[in-house]
Amino acid sequence: MTIRKAVITAAGRAHRSLPLQTLVDRDGVNRSCLELFVCEAIESGIEQVCVVVAPGDQPKYHAAAGSLSSRLSFVEQPQQLGYGHAIHCARDFVDDEPFLHMISDHLYLSLSDRRCAKQLIDIAARENCSVSAVQATRESALPYYGTIGGRRVHGQARLYEVETVIEKPTPTEAEQTLIVPGLRAGHYLCFFGMHVLTPAVMDTLGSLLAKSSEKPVTLSDAIAELCRRERFLAHEILGTRYNMGIKFGLLYAQIALALDGNDREEVLAHLVEALASRYR
């Protein structure tokens, strides 16, 4: 499996402004979140990136991409019909190829010498199937994430066969159906915000969208259907995702970037000073 393309969804009402925000990167350079997302993809071997945007947003996104704008193409989601519909809008761009998908309200920081997306792409290429990145997540954060249930792949570190997927489960649902042996008590494998998907997901999304007349279709719905038809894996990434769409999310993401960068000692000194003065 060769993964050359990436799809970034950025059309949702609640999140469409997040990729346009500016953060200071590891090197102390002001960059838009969109630039950081595109760099994650390109430096992981992706050649073409499609951004799904709301009508009229393309000029703003083109400008926010800066020097990377030539690497992007855009497709509009004409109506706010949900996350699954947004991905399905990129079906012509995908054109029957496997692709990397990333959401636009997460910042990803790797804990290894490979970017988070590169870790995921390597696993998908090796296993020749769809793979979702996951992270062990405490129970209190379940309302923010799709969550999987499954079993470890024998002899493979941090790799799981996906058997069940529930979008934003309640703690009771998670306890009943999403326990994964080997995780700490009160922790579940929640989506990391990036997936490598076979083109079959587009057909599955199309079928679900044709049948759905009430609630929006989610990617979790499509993955739950796909894992009943074909092999679908989850990989526990060596890295951390920062959800910028929650309260203080951008702040947490900026602190994480700063502590991972060249100005770490200076930032730590200022944080300690601020804490000391507050609780003096």
CB proximity list for 261: less than 8 A, separation 6 or greater = 24, 25, 26, 27, 28
In angstroms, the CA 255 to CA 266 distance is: 12
Cα–chain center distance at 25 = 19
Strands 130-138 and 187-197, by their bridges, are: antiparallel
pLDDT for 80 equals 86
Domain ranges of the chain: 5-247
Window from 11-15, 22-26, 35-39, 76-80 with minimum mean pLDDT: 11-15
* Owner of token pair 């703690």: 171
What band does 16 get if pLDDT is binned at 50, 70 and 90? confident
pLDDT averaged over every residue in the chain:
93
C-alpha pair distances (Å), 127 with each of 47, 164, 211, 228, 231: 21, 19, 31, 17, 9
Is CATH 3.40.50.920 the classification given to domain 5-247? no
**Which tens digits make up the pLDDT trace of 187-232?**
999 999 999 999 999 999 999 999 877 788 999 999 999 999 999 9
What band does 167 get if pLDDT is binned at 50, 70 and 90? very high
Residue 279 has pLDDT above 80, yes or no: no
Q: Taking the model in full, what pTM does it have?
A: 0.92
Contact 170, 142 (CB under 8 A): yes
pLDDT for 270 equals 87
Using a CB cutoff of 8 Å and minimum separation of 24, what contacts does 40-44 make?
40/102, 40/108, 40/115, 40/116, 40/117, 41/6, 41/8, 41/100, 41/102, 41/117, 42/68, 42/71, 43/115, 43/118, 44/100, 44/114, 44/115, 44/117, 44/118, 44/121
In 3D, which of 175, 177, 156, 136 has the Cα closest to residue 231?
156
